[in-house]
Structure 1
Amino acid sequence: MKPSAKPETFLLAMALLCTLLGLGLRSQALLLIVIDLFLSGMQNSASGYSLSCEVCVGDRPSCRGKLQTCAPDEDSCIVVVTETNRKASLVVTSYKGCAKSSQYESGFFGITMNPENYMGSKRRCCQKDGCNQDPLPAFVRNHTENGLRCPSCIAAFMETCTATAEALCVGEETHCVAVSGLVRPASDKLAVQGCGTKTACHTKPGTLVPSGSRLFTIKKTSSFRRNLTENGLQCPSCSTFLKETCTPTEETFCLGEETRCVTMTGLRHPADVKFASQGCAMENACHIKPGTLVPSGSHLLTINKISCLPSPQASGKAE
């Protein structure tokens, strides 16, 4: 709920009025002045006032800035600390400012696309002038794998991405999530899939997540639990570099919606090294277009060719 107007004048006038009336006020002029102050306070209270919050962005766990007046519809102050690991380059960012309580909740947001690409954000919301000046406690991420694996992908300039790899979930990342939004200041689209915390599944549209010199505005989040039940399908499996083909030496057990045996070839950047792999895949992997870029750890893969075989013996269904 949006806080009411600053009450100092209102409370002072009310106290004076009660005191003077209790003492038996004899001056009509002074009584009128006090009543005017009282009514002025009532009017200000009804019209509302603008909250003041500390505003800053920093490349460290905390930042300092000046108090600024918020817009009339911004009824909360926020402080956010984000840890972003992008291609093994760790960046810690802090952000303080004004916000709408309808878009923010205090808590932790975390998502992992792969071991070298993850984002974690801790935030606190409050509703008093300057209440976001104190820093948040130190950001601590749990790196212990919890056994869950989720489809993973990252795509810039897109509203969705097609998962072609898996992320190993850690700590409190107990859900598979898909997140899309805009990266400011350029308002470029960004879509990711991977492991997420329960709070990530309920992140409100409009939530800001600082990342270095940019701000990621979340537009949509969705979550699902991956089916890890073997579906009966077994696919030839292999992986190699410097070649356009690989020879399977074993079979892998497919899970859940992995209903296709897939063969994939392409280039790994930045060295443009050829690679080839075979294994299990979901139906959407079979429709990836040649030239698609797929992040993989600290490298980037360009898909040149994908071919899939049908698998009528697969019987697993997603949860």
Structure 2
Amino acid sequence: MQASLAVCILAALLALGACLQCEVCSGPGNNCTGSLQTCTLGEDTCGVALTESTFGGEKIQTVIKHCLTSSLCKDGPISVSFGTGMTTRTIFACCVGEACRTVNVTVPPADTKPNGRHCLGCYALFSQCSGEITECTGDETQCIEMAESISYGGNREQMVMKGCASESFCAQTKVGQATFGGHSANLTLVKCTSGAGGVSPGSAGLLLPPLAGLLLLKLLS
């Protein structure tokens, strides 16, 4: 509380206006409720991140409400496909105040048109995954390799994932830890390869997006 007050005082001294407070929560479905928390400097809006994950023909939605930088809301959906029918797509919506209680967020349909890019698609526990070449579609023009450690019910599993990703996914995803429903997912590797063959690490973003790890937490529970 004292730290939040100090941030507010600093913001006032810098003539940045009143401190922004946003509802912070996460859960299954397309809505959640939580307490108000003071945003840090640089986070200029509240927002909702809605993720739709598909696995074996089943679709699952998860939602996160949090403080955001408004630049995130200018991007379209961020998406990744790991092959064999496993995909995740996340859309961000910005809001302030009461508007955050009524904002309607939906994930638009995926563009299934092949774009000429091919990547190895796979996911596996404990070891390197070996899958099959996946035909990338829509705006998923990057090949991505990810590794994460998932904790659930007192257990810890190592997961490796590879597939096709959008450029916005690579830009918003970074190494780090996130917590969801009492479980934690620690992303230890993010590597994107462009069409030219170059490799670039994921840059800093809002937080570890709720992508495949959250779906896998459900599948493993």
Distance in 2 (CA, whole Å) between partners of 1:43 and 1:109 is: 34
Task: Give 1:201's match in structure 2, choosing from 158, 161, 170.
Answer: 170
Write the mapping of 1:45-60 to structure 2, written as runs, cut at 5 A. 45-46=12-13, 51-60=20-29
Distance in 1 (CA, whole Å) between partners of 2:80 and 2:123 is: 12
TM-score under structure 1 length normalisation: 0.45
Tell me if 1:85 matches 2:33.
Answer: no
User: Per-residue deviation at 1:84?
Assistant: 0.7
SS in 2 for 1:116: coil
Residue equivalent to 1:148 = 117
Residue equivalent to 1:117 = 86
List per-residue Cα deviations over 1:5-55 (Å, max 9, x = no partner): 4xxxxxxxxxxxxxxxxxxxxxxxxxxxxxxxxxxxx88823997642123
List per-residue Cα deviations over 1:278-304 (Å, max 9, x = no partner): xxxxxxxxxxxxxxxxxxxxxxxxxxx
Residue equivalent to 1:170 = 137
Instruction: Please report the RMSD computed on the Cα atoms of aligned residues, expressed in angstroms.
Output: 4.1
Distance in 2 (CA, whole Å) between partners of 1:184 and 1:177 is: 23
Counterpart amino acid of 2:57?
A
TM-score under structure 2 length normalisation: 0.62
User: Per-residue deviation at 1:67?
Assistant: 4.2
Distance in 2 (CA, whole Å) between partners of 1:111 and 1:118 is: 6
User: Per-residue deviation at 1:82?
Assistant: 0.6
Task: Give 2:103's match in structure 1, choosing from 135, 144, 154.
Answer: 135
User: Per-residue deviation at 1:145?
Assistant: 2.7
Please tell me whether the aligned partners of residues 50 and 107 of structure 2 are also in contact (alpha carbons under 8 angstroms).
Answer: yes
User: What runs of 5+ residues in structure 1 fail to find an aligned partner?
Assistant: 6-41, 228-319
Task: Give 1:96's match in structure 2, choosing from 45, 59, 65.
Answer: 65
Distance in 2 (CA, whole Å) between partners of 1:138 and 1:157 is: 34
Q: Percent identity?
A: 17
Identify if the C-alpha distance between structure 1 residues 114 and 209 changes in structure 2 by more than 3 Å, giving closer, same or farther. farther
SS in 2 for 1:202: helix
User: Of the two structures, which has the highest relative contact order with CA contacts closer than 8 Å and spacing of 6 or more?
Assistant: 2
Identify if the C-alpha distance between structure 1 residues 223 and 82 changes in structure 2 by more than 3 Å, giving closer, same or farther. same
